[in-house]
Chains A and B, each alone.
Chain A
């Protein structure tokens, strides 16, 4: 009944990619079209003979760009074996060879020949001067590159990798390729940029002089001068890490170890950082403690002193970041605190430990890896934060803002930006590495599939009172901050003229009905719709890449899986500013020219947010019994059918969560975005930052409030949708795999 594929000679997938390759080569324009990816007016503009929009085949036929000619051979080769069987070694060998050769040639010509002819002097020395040039690749190149890639993966699969599974091998190949192109390539390019001299050659002396700059590593603050940015960042990050961990623990204890009745209210805290653009907290801090802030002026009046700008600098950034990142620590720690098995604590109590001894000797030590984890997360977040230091930094320079000013400021020093990016990357990667390899193996959380009937004991009294006090103070402070944001948006001019007004909302979001249509006359609409559009495009792509990666990581075994996992999770530790700088350095010149487009924003969101999708996917996929996949396979479905019919439907809640989360993150992101926006593609966050820099706080805060409302709606709709997604769960006795 089921025919063994060893005898099958039809390869629908291969035929598909052969067609894609040929269409890319013969029909679609080879180079990127000015005007953008989704512009199609080139069809009317001299196509296919106009050089700018000609497909590769026509270019070569017109005796132009002759280096594209050899690309045709790896396209012909698969046609010769298309009738052979999959187990035929010739079939595999031809596919692997044509895929590899085609892809390599495509990359090599892209890097070898740029806007000014040969990109490297040794090529010119070898082949003589070239008076032709080429720009960034376009549709045609993209299609052909994909075709080559999937020839290669199908060849590998035919040779028996991963049991000859074409879908799995191709997914692995696809993920590796896009992560290489959009994460590793730009980072590497940045590393090289740090060595470039003004003359365009490489020199390690340049790197060393920039690296050991006093502005980075100076220790002047020990004797009253200013310290280097690296120390500033490090000091700040450690402080933020410690404080957020402590506060997170306090909240986690209140929720799990006390009879506190309004836990749901506290749990809402965890939603806040997701929906709040990071610098909004900074803005609220200014409203409270700035020169004309409510608290500053009233205290100054009371004491009869002049208000100062004390908040700008370390105190301001610290308060803002602790406010912004405590919920993240809380999110981590609540899992850890709940994860300590109640029966451990009950066992300690039956062994005659009192509550305080139990907490100190059993509960707390079991939470230790979780605490370290929360600290490292706070550390990484603080290092990577860009918005708050920009708004509140004053004279306290940190790495992320310095990178920005090195690129956009008067200094315009790409080399310095690259060096700073390397320092920042070294810090966050170090923390990431520590987290994975030191803590990864040390999880004491004792949640097992078995029900644990025990109940967590209450906190000892001596602990609970200070915990309650700290939690209450901090929670009310958070509430005040959000009230300030709301209030600040309806005040004429903060601290000067406190009359209530909707002026800011009108400036930003006014609309006019005209000629039967709506005219979006508000100043903010432009960036708002761009943001919506970019986020809507990025979200499903992020979720897709994340889930496929998660599927490969949880369900498949293949050589190099650990390296694969490390590579995909790495972008989590790469700060947005570093991504921003490296994208500018890497994608401003051929072969991939993307700066100034919307695509580069979409791509940066995909790879910034992919680890979130991967983690969500891994978490929910590891709850699906592996025997579900296996039974689908033994019932004759292939792995793609299994993925589509069994895994995806069961992951619906996870998919929705990943979608909304990446949508929201794309809307609130600032650090990478601020490098990548252009006049045509301005994003909400960078627009708001621009308003802040012009001291136009009212509009900035009104816009931020509107964003928060939009995101609350998105998250709320998610909650509704997930709540309604009914999935019949297998009964308890069916879920233990026992193997």
Chain B
């Protein structure tokens, strides 16, 4: 007998001017348009209350859009309840049915999908094999560890071969080590099977690690869409820069722009940077802590500053430095040449890294 394998029916998802209003005037999602390509893993990232979970639940059909249209593939699903959408979801709390064994949990959705008993069982077993839990089929969810429960929840959603697979903060109940392992496994499954996955998290590191595309959300709308690299290296505004990784946001002014290059001045110090559409006037410079350079002493080109605080965190040194434009946060890989609070230093920027942003 040919071994049954779980395949994928990955489909695109599209939001067209979608709003969700709770009660009378609470806008959880405000006029959002978004296209999710088939076969990609897209993360909805943002602080709590930004509307990311509402977006996810609207794809699932657990919330209905107040305005706009939602398409899965070419089908308009805007008014379709969850039952009738070909979408499955992995919940933050896993939501395994506590009165059913693992295999019953995984078979649950198959029962409503028109499979006969044999197919249902075969598929459920194939799903459990996929997450490496086929030996635990007869256990109750309460007899599994947190990570195993998580896998059962994933298998239960996978076996339906949904057009879209949704994850709602799936790792937030796991400890740090397991979290890293699980996110790698989820990413691997997604790539091997070519699934369309929409993934909600508030953990930017997790988002950077698993995504093809990240959608950063703020106050019910989209702040920026891009690959992890784009968001990290070229955030569109101060919010994104600060939310993805840490960034020093330094007020500065653009003196002149010639072609693609802008001349920026801050605290009497000048530097050439990609203009990114800025014209002369006030701006904000976003610099990652690792993209700053500090030299001991008050000589050389750069901004004069003083070390305020020095912290040793094992793999690197972290410094808080008082500069004329405020205090900035700097990390240094060299843990041997340590600076002490009160030391005078000179601050500079690496060539790649500092990004010009619109003024706050």
- Mark the stretch among A120-128, A301-309, A726-734 that contacts chain B: A726-734
A6 to B85, CA, bound (A): 11
- Residues of B with Cβ closer than 8 Å to A? 9, 53, 60-62, 64, 75, 77, 79-89, 91-99, 108-109, 112-114, 140-143, 146, 149, 153, 156-157, 160-161, 166, 169, 172-173
A641 to B157, CA, bound (A): 18
Q: Which of A90-113 contact B (CB under 8 A)?
A: none
- Mark the stretch among A244-252, A261-269, A392-400, A626-634 that contacts chain B: A626-634
Nearest residue (CB) in A for B173 is A733
List residues of chain B with CB within 8 A of the CB of A635.
88, 108-109, 112, 156-157, 160
Interface 0/1 of A144-166, CB less than 8 Å to B: 00000000000000001001110
Q: Does A738 contact B (CB under 8 A)?
A: yes
List residues of chain A with CB within 8 A of the CB of B92.
627, 737-739
Q: Does A500 contact B (CB under 8 A)?
A: no
Of the candidates B53, B88, B140, which one forms a contact with A634 in the assembled complex, judged by CB atoms under 8 Å apart? B88
Known: A635-B109, A637-B83. A1 touches B64 (CB 8 A): no
Contact B142 A729 (CB under 8 A): yes
Contact B149 A734 (CB under 8 A): yes
A734 to B94, CA, bound (A): 7
Q: Does A220 contact B (CB under 8 A)?
A: no
Q: What are 15 A-B interface contacts by the 8 Å CB criterion?
A: A2-B86, A4-B85, A625-B93, A628-B95, A632-B97, A633-B62, A633-B83, A634-B85, A634-B89, A634-B157, A641-B112, A646-B97, A734-B93, A734-B146, A735-B93
A610 to B237, CA, bound (A): 58
List residues of chain B with CB within 8 A of the CB of A737.
92-93
Nearest residue (CB) in A for B77 is A4
Contact B81 A649 (CB under 8 A): no
Contact A739 B149 (CB under 8 A): no
A432 to B156, CA, bound (A): 46
Contact B113 A636 (CB under 8 A): yes
List residues of chain A with CB within 8 A of the CB of B142.
728-731
Contact A630 B81 (CB under 8 A): no
A164 to B160, CA, bound (A): 23
Interface 0/1 of A4-39, CB less than 8 Å to B: 111000000000000000000000000000000000
Distance (Å) between the CB of B338 and the closest chain A CB? Answer: 40
Nearest residue (CB) in B for A630 is B62
A1 to B113, CA, bound (A): 6
Nearest residue (CB) in B for A637 is B112
Distance (Å) between the CB of A327 and the closest chain B CB? Answer: 33
Interface 0/1 of A504-528, CB less than 8 Å to B: 0000000000000000000000000
Contact A649 B99 (CB under 8 A): yes
Of the candidates A630, A641, A646, which one forms a contact with B82 in the assembled complex, judged by CB atoms under 8 Å apart? A630
A163 to B61, CA, bound (A): 9
Nearest residue (CB) in B for A625 is B93
Contact A636 B99 (CB under 8 A): no
Contact A5 B84 (CB under 8 A): yes
A108 to B246, CA, bound (A): 72
List residues of chain A with CB within 8 A of the CB of B160.
1, 635-636
Nearest first, the 6 A-B pairs at minimum CB distance are A635-B109, A728-B140, A631-B95, A728-B142, A627-B95, A633-B82
Interface 0/1 of A618-655, CB less than 8 Å to B: 00000001011011111111110100011001100000
Q: Does A736 contact B (CB under 8 A)?
A: yes
Interface centre among A634, A638, A728, A729 (most CB of B within 10 A): A634
List residues of chain A with CB within 8 A of the CB of B87.
634
Contact A728 B141 (CB under 8 A): yes
Nearest residue (CB) in A for B175 is A733
A426 to B79, CA, bound (A): 45
List residues of chain B with CB within 8 A of the CB of A632.
97, 108
A628 to B169, CA, bound (A): 16
Q: How many residues of A contact B (CB 8 A)?
A: 39
A33 to B62, CA, bound (A): 48
Contact B146 A160 (CB under 8 A): no
Q: Which of A706-739 contact B (CB under 8 A)?
A: 727-731, 733-739
Interface centre among B75, B83, B94, B172 (most CB of A within 10 A): B83
A739 to B146, CA, bound (A): 19
A352 to B280, CA, bound (A): 63
Of the candidates B60, B97, B156, which one forms a contact with A628 in the assembled complex, judged by CB atoms under 8 Å apart? B97
Contact A1 B114 (CB under 8 A): yes
Nearest residue (CB) in A for B79 is A160
Contact A727 B112 (CB under 8 A): no
Contact A636 B83 (CB under 8 A): yes
A160 to B79, CA, bound (A): 8
Of the candidates B53, B91, B112, which one forms a contact with A636 in the assembled complex, judged by CB atoms under 8 Å apart? B112
Nearest residue (CB) in A for B153 is A631
List residues of chain A with CB within 8 A of the CB of B141.
728, 730, 734
List residues of chain B with CB within 8 A of the CB of A735.
93
Distance (Å) between the CB of A398 and the closest chain B CB? Answer: 46
A650 to B142, CA, bound (A): 14
Interface centre among B79, B112, B142, B143 (most CB of A within 10 A): B112
List residues of chain B with CB within 8 A of the CB of A638.
83, 112
Distance (Å) between the CB of A72 and the closest chain B CB? Answer: 34
List residues of chain A with CB within 8 A of the CB of B96.
730, 734
Known: A728-B98, A728-B143, A739-B53. A630 touches B80 (CB 8 A): no
- Other 11 A-B pairs with CB < 8 A, given A625-B93, A630-B60: A627-B93, A628-B95, A634-B82, A634-B89, A634-B157, A636-B83, A636-B160, A650-B98, A730-B93, A733-B173, A734-B141
A646 to B112, CA, bound (A): 14
Distance (Å) between the CB of A555 and the closest chain B CB? Answer: 12
Distance (Å) between the CB of B297 and the closest chain A CB? Answer: 50
List residues of chain A with CB within 8 A of the CB of B114.
1
List residues of chain B with CB within 8 A of the CB of A2.
84-86, 112-113
Nearest residue (CB) in B for A633 is B82
Contact A630 B95 (CB under 8 A): yes
Contact A727 B95 (CB under 8 A): no
Distance (Å) between the CB of B210 and the closest chain A CB? Answer: 20
Nearest residue (CB) in B for A731 is B142
Distance (Å) between the CB of B216 and the closest chain A CB? Answer: 20
A168 to B77, CA, bound (A): 21
Nearest residue (CB) in A for B113 is A1
Contact A633 B81 (CB under 8 A): yes
Distance (Å) between the CB of B51 and the closest chain A CB? Answer: 13
Nearest residue (CB) in B for A629 is B95
Of the candidates A633, A636, A641, A729, which one forms a contact with B98 in the assembled complex, judged by CB atoms under 8 Å apart? A729
Distance (Å) between the CB of A735 and the closest chain B CB? Answer: 7
Nearest residue (CB) in A for B139 is A728
Distance (Å) between the CB of A444 and the closest chain B CB? Answer: 26
Distance (Å) between the CB of B10 and the closest chain A CB? Answer: 13
A160 to B96, CA, bound (A): 29
List residues of chain A with CB within 8 A of the CB of B98.
650, 727-730
List residues of chain A with CB within 8 A of the CB of B172.
738
Distance (Å) between the CB of B113 and the closest chain A CB? Answer: 5
Nearest residue (CB) in A for B75 is A4
A630 to B99, CA, bound (A): 16
A570 to B268, CA, bound (A): 76
List residues of chain A with CB within 8 A of the CB of B75.
4
Of the candidates B53, B81, B153, which one forms a contact with A165 in the assembled complex, judged by CB atoms under 8 Å apart? B81
Nearest residue (CB) in A for B114 is A1
Of the candidates A163, A630, A631, which one forms a contact with B64 in the assembled complex, judged by CB atoms under 8 Å apart? A163
List residues of chain B with CB within 8 A of the CB of A729.
98, 142
Contact B61 A634 (CB under 8 A): yes
Nearest residue (CB) in A for B145 is A731
Contact B81 A731 (CB under 8 A): no
List residues of chain B with CB within 8 A of the CB of A634.
60-62, 82, 85, 87-89, 157, 166
Distance (Å) between the CB of A372 and the closest chain B CB? Answer: 30
Contact B86 A1 (CB under 8 A): yes
Distance (Å) between the CB of B115 and the closest chain A CB? Answer: 9
List residues of chain B with CB within 8 A of the CB of A160.
79
Contact B83 A727 (CB under 8 A): no
Distance (Å) between the CB of A730 and the closest chain B CB? Answer: 5
List residues of chain A with CB within 8 A of the CB of B79.
160, 163-164
A1 to B169, CA, bound (A): 27
